[in-house]
Amino acid sequence: MPMRITGLKDIIAGLTSAGRGVFEVASTRRQAQLGEMCEKLLDLKGEASVIVLAHRILELYATLEEAERIEFFEMLRDRFGADEQRLGAAISDYQSSPGPDTAAALADAAEAPRQELFRLLNTAPNGTAALIEMREHLLRVLRKHPQLAPVDRDIEHLLLSWFNRGFLTLRRIDWQTPAFILEKLIAYEAVHEIRGWPDLQRRLANDRRCYGFFHPALPDDPLIFVQVALVKGLADSIQTVLDSAPPAADEEVEADTAIFYSISNCQRGLSGITFGNFLIKQVTDSLARDVPGITRFSTLSPIPGFRRHLETWLATAEGAAALSDAERELLADGPAHWLDDEGKANAIKPLMMHLCADYLLNVKRGEEPGDPVARFHLRNGARLERLNWLGDRSEKGLRESYGLLVNYVYDRKTVAQNHEAYVNDFEVVCSSALRSLAAKRPKRL
């Protein structure tokens, strides 16, 4: 790049030496000091010196323990909320003459000043990363401290705006990528653990693809990434995908199917901000354009809620009555035994496939499927395609779904219409094979 970029970091020194005197605050307690500094920051709004003060506040914040952070968030709630008098007046104005102008003034008055405070903190070097971390802290305590929800709402509101899809870039991640970024894939992978650098390298070989969304304010840190295997036919086993030997460096890869086998969000502080649907869409389009021969797009997905659902149901009277003794016994053995005992596996397989298909198609949370992964892909317009018996033999796979995996197929011709059918009527588009599986209870053992 022919232009040199001067980092904000470099600037701090300069600003600091010039401006130090201005920001010295007499308070002795950090908490009080933080409060004063935040008020000062709002006063400075629009001045170049906000950068230094924002930097100081974030430095001081970084020294807080969890209990102090809760105090800090409470202060943000109480001291940096909307001004009651101003809000009251704006309400009166609006009520006496409702219309776009008074509504706009009311919206202004209702916006908590802490939103502006967050915007000002963002001017500090690495301010965006610091705010994301601050929200991570907040989310960690939010369940126990629901009174902090208004603060979370305000940060989330800003992050939603800043991490707008229009500001993200899709980048391919491969073996040419700096080690500094690759290292983060290992740390962030949430679905199928990356077991060190050789495992990572295999996942980045020339029959694999990895893409992530990045935001300009976090150039070295992916927001989300997806891992794809280019294979022949619809993959039915995650172990085959992960452990197959990579092709030679110059070997032509002959594949007709792209298998999305892992998708991981990276930033807990961005929880609630959706990237996955955009990512799948865009990667699908990229692959269709760039990799000749790829004509099918599918996931190889976990069914994380299946086992928990089944065990709960079996504990009910209805569930208890639904299985024969032989079936209940095989099930009680647990899937770890099925792995080694082909006889047992074959015996229980038809029942498990039926139960799982039934779970995916008929168990609901409200009007939507009970399984969270199913909700995600069906909403995106995918089709429930195929169940894979013992597709995930890992401890986690057995624990969550008795080792079953499912393929959601993204058919570019029908994805928009599937999506519409889902969001309008919660219709689950499904292959006939899977529908049959769900419909017919196999003979009792």
Q: Which residue number, 54 or 242, has a Cβ lying nearer to a second copy?
A: 54
Q: Which residue number, 275 or 402, has a Cβ lying nearer to a second copy?
A: 275
User: Which letter, b or e, does each residue of 149-171 get, where b requires 16 or more Cβ atoms within 10 Å of its Cβ?
Assistant: eebbebbbebbeebbeeeebeeb
Tell me the closest approach of the beta carbon of residue 126 to a second copy, in angstroms: 9
Q: What is the per-residue binding string for a second copy in 160-179, x denoting contact by CB under 8 A?
A: xxx-xxxx-xxxxx-xxxxx
Q: Which residue number, 94 or 338, has a Cβ lying nearer to a second copy?
A: 94
Q: Which residue number, 279 or 398, has a Cβ lying nearer to a second copy?
A: 279
Write the CA distances from 187 to 126, 266, 271, 308, 444, integer angstroms: 21, 9, 17, 27, 46
Pairing status of strand 364-365 against strand 368-369: antiparallel
Residues 274-303 that bind a second copy (CB under 8 A): 274, 277-278, 280-282, 284-286, 288-289
Q: Which residue number, 81 or 370, has a Cβ lying nearer to a second copy?
A: 81
Give dist(CA 442, CA 356) in Å, integer. Answer: 13
**Residue 385 contacts a second copy per CB under 8 A:** no
Q: What is the per-residue binding string for a second copy in 351-370, x denoting contact by CB under 8 A?
A: --------------------
250: which DSSP letter?
Answer: T
Give dist(CA 324, CA 330) in Å, integer. Answer: 10
Give dist(CA 328, CA 348) in Å, integer. Answer: 10
Residues 403-442 that bind a second copy (CB under 8 A): 412-413, 415-417, 419-420, 423
Residues 232-261 that bind a second copy (CB under 8 A): none
Residues 60-79 that bind a second copy (CB under 8 A): 77-78
Write the CA distances from 163 to 155, 206, 223, integer angstroms: 12, 31, 10
Q: Which residue number, 180 or 321, has a Cβ lying nearer to a second copy?
A: 180
Q: Which residue number, 272 or 334, has a Cβ lying nearer to a second copy?
A: 272
**DSSP secondary structure letters along 394-420:** SHHHHHHHTT-EEEEE--TTTHHHHHH
Tell me the closest approach of the beta carbon of residue 405 to a second copy, in angstroms: 24
**Residue 202 contacts a second copy per CB under 8 A:** no
Q: Which two tokens stand for residue 389?
A: 């018996």
Residue 77 CB partners (closer than 8 Å, separation 6+): 114, 147, 148, 150, 151
Q: What is the per-residue binding string for a second copy in 204-233, x denoting contact by CB under 8 A?
A: -------x----xx----------------
Q: Which residue number, 216 or 366, has a Cβ lying nearer to a second copy?
A: 216
Backbone φ and ψ for 440, nearest 5 degrees, come out as -115, 115
Q: What is the per-residue binding string for a second copy in 139-158, x denoting contact by CB under 8 A?
A: --------x-xx--xx---x
Q: Interhelix angle for 30-44 vs 50-61, to 10°?
A: 160
Q: Which residue number, 55 or 309, has a Cβ lying nearer to a second copy?
A: 55
Is residue 442 within 8 A of residue 350, CB to CB? The reply is yes
**Contact window for a second copy (CB under 8 A) among 93-101, 333-341, 364-372, 382-390:** 93-101
Tell me the closest approach of the beta carbon of residue 148 to a second copy, in angstroms: 9
Q: Which two tokens stand for residue 269?
A: 């502080």
Tell me the closest approach of the beta carbon of residue 251 to a second copy, in angstroms: 15
